[in-house]
Chain A
Amino acid sequence: MTTATHPSASAPSLTPQQLFRKQAAGEGLSPDEPDAAHRHVIVVTMENTIGALNRVANLFSARGFSLESVSVGIAEGQTARMTLVTTGNDRIIGQVLQQLNNLVDTLHVDDVTDEAFVERELCLVKVAATPAERSALMGVVDIFRGNVVNITPDSMTFEVTGPPTKINAFIGMMREYDVREVARSGRVAMRRQLVFETQS
């Protein structure tokens, strides 16, 4: 018996349909063109049940996405509100969002990346500080509208809230001193209510 592959018309150039699909999939059309990948800020509202958090995080790890930031807190009506930040191919993240929506415990999934939204992060920084350094440190903290939350003879702890860029800048400034500990909350985000949205 012989015969290997049946004749095939392997066309080297792409059909219009193949081009459409590549574009729709956010893939680069030529090898040197990268896929469409962005950072996404996703707000998930879910039932506050055991395991719900795990299921959400699972979906991202199952598709090989690492979560850059996760924060969760209780919101109104027995719900938990989660803000996730991750980076990846837009289409695949779109799919993960569909899968998130499919979870029995999720009530609402909102990718606010391309929307007008407010985001905030809280950060605590403990630095070694002699009494002589205190006033200089306070000067920096005041510029960032931060607060002192703890003070000892040889250290001070500050609290700063703001968009992640501000937090980064603040931590950068503190690096001039002897930073002992940094704790960041991860971001929380919310769509902005635009004035003209309420009028019509």
Chain B
Amino acid sequence: MPEKNVTGAEILIRSLEAEGVEFVFGHPGGAVIQIYDEMHRLQPKFEHILVRHEQGGTHAAEGYAKATGKVGTVLVTSGPGATNTVTGIADAFMDSIPLVVLTGQVPTKLIGNDAFQECDIIGVTRSITKHSFLVRDVRELASTIKKAYHIARTGRPGPVVVDLPKDVIAARAPFEWPERISLRGYSTITRGEQGQVEKAARMMRQAERPLLYVGGGTIISNATDALTRLARKTQIPVTTTLHGLGSFPEDDPLSVGMLGMHGTWYANQAVQNCDLLIAVGARFDDRVTGKIDAWAPHAKIIHIDVDPACISKNVPADCPILGDVGHVLAQLEPLVEFRNRADWLTQIEAWKAECPLEYVHDGALRPQHIIQELRRKTGGHAVVVTDVGQNQMWSAQYFTYAEPRSHITSGGLGTMGFSLPAAMGAAFGLRKAAENAAENAVPVISINGDGGFLMNMQELGVAAAHKLPLKIVVLNNSYLGMVRQWQELFHDERYSHTHLAPTNPDFVQLAEAFNCVGLRCTRPDDVTATIDAAWEVTDRPVLMEFQVITEEMVFPMVPAGAATDEMITQRFNPEEFA
């Protein structure tokens, strides 16, 4: 019996259900009003979260995707609704986060007419999407949705935009969820070429001073256990990128922490001296390599990645292996063996002792102390979602991540205003997963500077309405701290337009106004009590404002364009630097 005809809107909703979508982060408007009407009627299996700004919606979907490993879904109206998603789409593209962004569009016959709220969102987002679709026929809607999720999720994940003209949403057709879809131009690679894997194993056996350089691809492909086994079996030390944090326990003796611009001195030292660098799901970003010609000058390079366009892009690899990180590590494991690397590991220990991560303890309230206290409170069982700037780097340096997906940040695009909505999305996803498993959800901690927090603070109300017990930290240094740091170091202390105190709100009152709990802390002695008090709140978000000192800087640091062994390791002294 043929299915009865239903509207495009219903087909969309049924398709999202069939995809197993749990949350849609959305905001209505004229072009999508019929979809909202059908949602009202059909009471779908997924939950729609009404965000207060479409940018917040895309970041929430990103946070959800990063925390759960699933695809995040966004639904917005045409024109301004669609353009408001652009930053989040670009962010997801840079950080390989799977998103499907459903945008309303003016009716097909008006496209190109400068109709009210028309925007060629496919054109606008062409260079920041993995793929995009304009649906022109309601009969293709279901299969397009299936394709969109498939493309977003597989291979190197990324954002996919599906543009939905209003007349297609209104048109009628039977709903049929396709069993399979055909995308003849799209294939994904899983296994690595065996010959290359064997070559890599040989190189690993022969190397005297090998180093694993691990990026976010390892977490995306759920390969962190395989990585940990490989490192321990071969006794090869591990450094991670910002996105690789949590892929290998940082409290393991083999960990040398994060590398790159604000990585540890000893990690960069290990890179500069190693004779083999095994890049696992990492992309040789310029924040990692600094001056690329001078980077890892003695190292042969094995590069394992799923994206052929990424391999040998910035640094030619001696042994490229194209494949899914998890598969390739599984192929490698039986081919490698234990090797005693006492000399190399002793050298690394000596570097760790020579220049550890440290900060001054003089009674002033410093951000590093707060991050360490958060770690102590949670034992590392938490998801830390940072914003961008100094707060991001201190969170990376001082939390000591031990679990995959415990660290979420905007790395590639560096989007201020990311943390709060992304933390909200993560909390929705984790709460749902915990409910399904009848467990307690791990706490989600959003760490912000005072500047970035204001960029998407409207989502506080959404988090409160849904009783999300977010732990929101605002490290209030009264400045756009990271810019101020550069101004101090490289622009002769000309603090041009970075002072925020004149316009900053009272953060505690702000939290209360959004029906959250607000707490303020001004002294190091009160940090623990403030955090303890925040953890008592379980039915709504709590915002902790820490009035930290303005002058603190993120060290160590590789100045932009310098080689990674030219790190500034403590407060800058112009005479010595010149």
Contacts and interface: CB of A to CB of B under 8 A. Distances in A.
A193 interface: no
Interface string A80-115: 000000000000000100110111111100000000
Contacts of B576: 2-5
B570 A1 contact: yes
Interface stretch (B19-27, B123-131, B224-232, B237-245): B123-131
B458 interface: no
B297 A51 contact: no
B573 A25 contact: no
5 contacts: A6-B566, A17-B298, A54-B123, A58-B126, A103-B131
Given A17-B296, A105-B131, 6 more contacts: A3-B571, A6-B569, A8-B563, A15-B298, A20-B316, A51-B134
Contacts of B294: 10
Interface in A146-162: none
Given A1-B571, A4-B572, A104 B315 contact: no
A62 B127 CA distance: 8
Nearest to A45: B185
A98 B573 contact: no
Nearest to B312: A24
Interface string B554-578: 0010000001011111111100110
Interface in A1-44: 1-6, 8-11, 14-15, 17-18, 20-21, 24-25
Contacts of B395: none
Contacts of A1: 360, 570-571, 573
Contacts of B309: 95, 98-99, 101-102
Interface of B: 122-123, 126-127, 130-132, 134, 151, 183-186, 265, 293-294, 296-300, 307-309, 312-313, 315-316, 318, 355, 360, 556, 563, 565-573, 576-577
B185 A6 contact: no
A55 interface: yes
A104 B130 contact: yes
B316 A21 contact: yes
A15 B184 contact: no
A123 interface: no
A54 B316 CA distance: 29
A1 B307 CA distance: 45
Nearest to B564: A8
B336 to A, nearest CB: 22
Contacts of A9: 565
A144 to B, nearest CB: 39
Contact of B126 (A15, A47, A51, A102): A51
A99 to B, nearest CB: 5
A3 B563 contact: no
Contacts of A58: 126-127
A195 interface: no
Contacts of A101: 308-309
Nearest to A18: B297
A3 B573 contact: yes
B293 A17 contact: no
A17 B300 contact: yes
Contacts of A4: 568, 572-573, 576-577
A102 B157 CA distance: 12
Contacts of B293: 18
A102 B293 CA distance: 28
Given A4-B568, A51-B134, A95 B313 contact: yes
A46 interface: yes
A50 B137 CA distance: 13
A107 B185 contact: yes
A124 to B, nearest CB: 30
Contacts of B298: 15, 17
Contacts of B566: 5-6, 8, 10
Given A5-B566, A98-B309, A47 B185 contact: yes
Contacts of A46: 185
B318 A20 contact: yes
Given A9-B565, A51-B122, A17 B297 contact: yes
A102 B565 CA distance: 35
Best-buried of B130, B183, B565 by chain A (most CB within 10 Å): B565
Nearest to B123: A54
Contacts of B265: 6
Contacts of A10: 294, 563, 565-566
A104 B316 contact: no
A55 B296 CA distance: 35
A54 B297 contact: no
Best-buried of A9, A10, A25, A104 by chain B (most CB within 10 Å): A104
Nearest to A102: B309
A50 B567 contact: no
B130 to A, nearest CB: 7
B131 A104 contact: yes
A97 to B, nearest CB: 9
Nearest to B155: A102
Contact of A5 (B151, B185, B313, B568): B568
A56 to B, nearest CB: 11
Given A17-B297, A104-B130, A5 B186 contact: no
Nearest to B318: A20
B565 A103 contact: no
B184 A107 contact: yes
Contacts of A95: 309, 313
B185 A106 contact: yes
A104 B563 CA distance: 37
Contacts of B130: 104
A102 B315 CA distance: 20
Contacts of B577: 4-5
